Amino acid sequence: MLTRRHFIGTAIAATIALPGLALAEPAAYPHKVVTLVTHSSPGGGSDVFLREMSKYLSKYIGATFIIENVQGGSGAKAIARVASAPANGSVFYATTPTYIYTSLLSQPTNTYKDLDPLVNFFADSEVIYTRTDGPFKTLAEVIDHARKTRGRWGAANPASLERQAAEQLKRAAGVNAAIVTHEGGGDLMLNTLNGTLDIGIGEIQELRSQLDANKIRLLATFNPQRIPDKPDVPTVRESGFDVALVKFRGLAGPKGIPADVTAIWDDAVQKVLADPDYKKAYSAEVLVPNFIAHKDYPAFVNDFATRTEAFLKETGAIK
């Protein structure tokens, strides 16, 4: 069953204080309404990204943006929804590593190869967290516990970068922790808070409310370097385990997006990432701008898919 949630971006037309000068008009766009599809449940990482970004995007693209949550199959239904849409710039999908993993692990009817990568916005930090009132203060303590009693670790869904991060950490640490996957971040958080899981792996924007309430503790980040806004959180590598991963966040559409549409997005994404108000918002969520233009984004996605497929074959997840 499709769950449809709408968020309508607000187009802005205003005059600044200097007489005779006005803010630039949004770029003319061939569609009045653009649907942004995500496999994420409401409140999940991609859902939060799209809803927040849409608030500012209408300053630069003359359209109303609607968010559509299409859950099921670890992203398979959302991929199919977009792959079958008109290739005219009216429907896009929120790309993350999940749509690569789903394509490789479950062999759905439509895969990432049936979508045309449009543009990338961000690199997103993956972190390891645990409950504040729990027994673990460091990642080393979690690993030591896993050596003694196996342990239970949580990831958002079976086809995700979080799952790969957990698998790579297991291998690097030489432990056999049970990895419990979930369809969404809400259940994962609940099981981490109630002690069912030793740790969860997720994104800071999904964890914000629990972090602010001091309910969870960040143990490490999979980023190659420490997160600028979280300088006290060590990297997994600094903690003694040679694993580094970064999540990408962008958009893709049906095959054959017109060149005039991709040009509008290339220009608008650079402007929205430089928007001072949006910069404050995404910096608070520890998102790092990582603009990749349309001409380069397909190669980036294909390279990620190739490396992911090699890892999955190496670990026996696929043949």
Q: How many CB atoms lie within 10 A of CB 65?
A: 23
Entry pTM: 0.75
- What are the tens digits of pLDDT across the range 120-177? 999 888 899 999 999 999 999 999 999 999 999 998 777 678 888 998 999 999 999 9
Second CATH level (architecture) for the domain 126-221: 3-Layer(aba) Sandwich (3.40)
3-state secondary structure string across 25-67: CCECCCCCEEEEEECCCCCCHHHHHHHHHHHHHCCCECCEEEE
| One CATH from 3.40.50.300, 3.40.190.150, 1.10.150.120, 1.10.287.40 for 33-123+248-314 | 3.40.190.150
Which pLDDT score, from 0 to 100, does residue 54 have? Answer: 95
What is the model's pLDDT at position 181?
85
Q: What is the DSSP letter of 307?
A: H
Name the phi and psi angles at 25, rounded to 5.
Answer: -75, 150
pLDDT digits (tens, 9 = 90+) for 210-242: 999 999 999 999 988 888 888 999 999 999 999
Please state, in angstroms and rounded to a whole number, the distance separating the CA atoms of residues 46 and 60.
21
Domain 33-123+248-314 and domain 126-221, same fold? Reply is yes
Asked whether 59 and 280 are in contact (CB, 8 A), the reply is: no
* Domains of the chain by residue range: 33-123+248-314, 126-221
pLDDT in tens, the chain (319 residues): 444 444 333 333 333 333 333 457 899 999 999 999 999 888 888 898 999 999 999 999 999 999 999 998 888 999 999 999 999 999 999 999 989 989 998 889 999 999 999 999 998 888 999 999 999 999 999 999 999 999 999 987 776 788 889 989 999 999 999 999 886 677 899 999 999 999 999 888 778 889 999 999 999 999 888 888 889 999 999 999 999 888 899 999 999 999 999 999 999 999 999 999 999 999 887 888 999 999 999 999 999 999 889 888 887 778 8
The DSSP result for 275-289, as a single string, is -HHHHHHHHHTTEEE
Other C-beta atoms closer than 10 Å to the C-beta of 314 total 10
